[in-house]
Amino acid sequence: MFVRSPHAHATINSIDAAAAAAMPGVVRIFTGKDLEGQMGGLPCGWLITDTDGQPMKEPPHPVLAQGKVRYVGDHVAMVVAESLQQAKDAAEAVVVDYTPLSAAVTCEQAKSGAALHAEAQDNHCYKWAIGDKAGVDAVFASAAHITKLDLTNNRLVPNPMEPRAVVGQYNRASDEYTLHVANQNPHVERLLMTAFVLGLPEHKVRVIAPDVGGGFGSKIYLYAEDVAVTWASKQINRPIKWTSDRSEAFLSDAHGRDHVSTAEMAMDAEGHFLGLRVHTDANLGAYLSTFATAVPTILYATLLAGQYKTPVVYAEVDAYFTNTAPVDAYRGAGRPEATYLLERLVTRCAWEMGLSQAEIRRRNFITEFPYQTPVALQYDIGDYHACLDEAEKLADVAGYAARKAATEAKGLLRGVGYSSYIEACGIAPSNIAGALGARAGLFECGEVRVHPTGSVTVFTGSHSHGQGHETTFAQVVAARLGIDVDAVDVVHGDTGRVPFGMGTYGSRSISVGGAAIMRALDRIEAKAKKIAAHLMEASDDDIEFANGNFTVKGTDKTIPFAQVALTAYVPHNYPLDKLEPGLNETAFYDPTNFTFPAGTYICEVEIDPNTGVVRVDRFSAVDDFGTIINPMIVEGQVHGGLVQGIGQALLENCVYDTETGQLLTGSFQDYAMPRADDFPEFKLGHVCTPCTHNPLGTKGCGEAGAIGSPPAVINAVLDALQPMGVKEFDMPATPARVWAAIQAAKA
């Protein structure tokens, strides 16, 4: 049980845990003082370099507060007791004397607020920029038309199905720790914890995390609770378990989004984009979470070219510390923020230029590939026109006028919104990521272990927490080896069994993890061919492998995969002088580029002007995920993403009180999660341009829905509200906010 700060910002004058420590069942109480000199702080995995060439400000992130708390929910003490109830009682009896300080929960407040950290007196973490500022200024000076928009991307709480949990256990005999933890990234969790925080040899810690109860990004990170529990299990020589309750999850899981931006597009008289200028204030929360700094920079501004051939783009990002929970990657991570900004702006451009939402997009789509954007990324392949055409078909654009008339006959408003998103998945080559500040590699590892009877276990460094890797990875292996899918087991989420791994985020698993497995399979096949050649007394080069059989070219001599597998382990008739026994290969795959899924989403809403209630009536989504391995899983992933994206657009909103810094939306009573009856049946379609640089031709699908959908919804809401005089509107489109916007426009 953790004693958490009730204040958004305060100094800790003293902590008196004596009475609590004497309560029934209490084993030990640890405070920041106990940890001093015992461990480092939690590290940030991505170094951003400021526009002035200096490194970002990186204040310490203590595991338990050292003299100060910086957000409501900050960790002050850990109470270990025989039962949860006893730990809760004792936690309430820990007396902490605080002196409250003024709190800043928005970037605007932080700019002039009390400093959270001595290392950042102005609460400014970094200013980062990308693109050609002079070039953008020049086109803006002579553009026929400039469209400008102010936007807020609302803060979200991830809310996976199960909150976080951890069990730490120390074994005195072997001097080893075993950590069962809800984490999407077990090897990285281990690396960060051992190398950066606890100073332990990595091989002394085993992190086991196969089933984590969903994550959506919030379980990528190294959290204070994981470190405290692991370390303390040695101090008391007993296993320690901690499970977050839902209220703690609201307070202390890394949140998502929280950008305030200004976006401007310069156009010629026909609505061709000439230049894009963006400024964003990004709220990082009180401390730098593991990958927080990459989200509003590398994962955001590099996507601002979108699907368009805008010749020059310039984006500037100011990131601030505030007295709120740390913000990090949440489904989409940076790419939903870029898409929301760009696709809202593009629709606004269409309206100002008197063009349809489709026409402005068609006029500006990139059509030639590979395409070098002005913001670092190089798109390998895509067909944006095909996605838009297909989406318009699915959406039955021709029938829109009749639907609108029918809606109006009911006294309601109807609007349609478009969004043509692009995302970068797979988080690409380690050397480029390193040059951009990543402190980790971004490859993946796969091991294929063929057993003597021809069944296979695959060990992958990717992590499945709802994405169905057990099915799709097995499909890839079964198809390649020509064996039954049931003969393939997939193992993930255990540093004791999987050689290494970078975990799952950024919809990278099939394209990077799957590619590593394909590479291991290449080696399996090459070795198996040699064994088959020996068995059939043929030359290695004459062996063909198809449908699970090795055949000597041009003959009917053939042996099945299982016979080769058995021979590898029973090498009685075997070229032992040339080949080792066994059939087990490991490969590491470092991609040469991101994958670039893209698509067009079209949303139709109906709004009741008397109540402000918005109902999504139709939603059509056409995506290009390259080659699709499993259409049912992909459909499920798109549905999940859409629900999260539309949830952000209509319902979800994390709100802190701007005076006290208290979290006002700390439960499901106040934070509205989407439910099935908030959605129509989604119409899904696909275009396929296979990725050019991974062996499967796949592009990530796990985040697309959450990235593309919010602007489609808000564009539709605005389209519907235009006749009422509402010109601008930001997420979430709750009834109260929509109603208020209508009233304000009337006034």
Binding residues for ligand MCN, rule: CB under 6 A, are: 160, 214-217, 331, 465-469, 472, 504-511, 625-630, 633-634, 637, 640, 698-703
CA neighbor of 587 nearest in space, from 483, 501, 658, 676: 501
Euclidean distance between CA atoms 679 and 681, whole angstroms: 7
Length of the chain: 747
133 versus 639: smaller Cβ distance to ligand MCN: 639
The residue assigned the tokens 């489609």 is: 712
Please give the backbone phi and psi of residue 28, each rounded to the nearest 5 degrees, phi first.
-160, 155
Alpha-carbon distances of 10 from 3, 68, 250, 551, rounded to whole Å = 15, 6, 20, 74
8 A C-beta contact, residue 99 and residue 68: no
**In terms of CB distance, is 527 or 699 closer to ligand MCN?**
699
Distance of closest approach, residue 743 Cβ to ligand MCN, in angstroms: 37
Q: Which residue lies nearer to ligand MCN by CB, 253 or 606?
A: 253
- Identity of the residue, 89 or 253, whose beta carbon is nearer to ligand MCN in the bound complex: 253
Q: How far is the CB of 635 from ligand MCN (least distance, A)?
A: 10
Q: Which two tokens stand for residue 636?
A: 């499920």
Instruction: State the amino acid at position 385 in one-letter form.
Output: H
Residues contacting 677, CB < 8 A, separation 6+ = none
Question: Residue 460 or 600: which CB sits closer to ligand MCN?
Answer: 460
Residue 506 has what DSSP assignment? Answer: T
- At its nearest, how many Å lie between ligand MCN and the CB of residue 483? 18
Minimum distance from CB of 165 to ligand MCN (Å)?
15
- How far CA 154 is from CA of 101, 119, 325, in Å, comes to 25, 28, 14
Rank residues 243 and 630 by Cβ distance to ligand MCN and give the closer one.
630
CA–CA separation, 407 vs 385, rounded Å?
A: 30
Nearest distance in Å: CB 161, ligand MCN: 8
Tell me the closest approach of the beta carbon of residue 633 to ligand MCN, in angstroms. 5
| Residue closer to ligand MCN, measured from CB, 75 or 469 | 469
What is the three-class DSSP state of 176?
A: strand
> Residue 535 belongs to what H/E stretch?
helix 514-535
* Least gap, CB of 562 to ligand MCN (angstroms): 26
Contact 481, 520 (CB under 8 A): no
Task: Check: CB of residue 645 under 8 Å from CB of residue 709.
Answer: yes
Neighbouring-strand partners of residue 49: 55
To the nearest whole angstrom, how small is the minimum distance from the Cβ of residue 616 to ligand MCN?
21
**Token pair for 675:** 């439910």
User: What is the CB neighbour count within 10 angstroms for residue 324?
Assistant: 27
Distance linking the first and last C-alpha atoms of the chain: 52
CA dist., res. 87 & res. 92, Å (int)? 9
We find the least distance from the C-beta atom of residue 622 to ligand MCN, in angstroms, to be: 14
**Min separation Cβ 680 and ligand MCN, Å:** 21
What is the spatial distance between Cα 367 and Cα 464, in angstroms, rounded to a whole number? 35
Query: Over the Cα atoms of the chain, what is R_g?
Result: 27
Q: What is the rounded CA–CA span in Å between residue 159 and residue 2?
A: 20
Looking at beta carbons only, is 84 or 478 nearer to ligand MCN? 478
Instruction: Give the tokens for residue 5.
Output: 């700060």
C-alpha 53: how far from chain center = 28
Structure token pair of residue 221: 């990170």
Tell me whether residue 466 or residue 661 sits nearer to ligand MCN (CB atom): 466
Sequence-distant (≥ 6) Cβ neighbours of residue 207 within 8 angstroms: 179, 181, 183, 186, 187, 189, 190, 494, 495
**Which residues fall within 8 angstroms of residue 475, CB to CB, at 6 or more apart?**
485, 629, 630
Nearer to ligand MCN, 220 or 278 (CB): 220
CB nearer to ligand MCN: give 508 or 618. 508
Question: Using CB atoms, what's the residue nearest to ligand MCN?
Answer: 466
- In the complex with ligand MCN, the residue whose CB is nearer, 474 or 663, is 474
Quote the least distance from Cβ 421 to ligand MCN, whole Å.
14
Closest contact distance (angstroms) between CB of 498 and ligand MCN is 15
Nearer to ligand MCN, 294 or 701 (CB): 701
CB of 516 to ligand MCN, least distance (A): 12
**Residue where the block lists tokens 């790419």:** 335
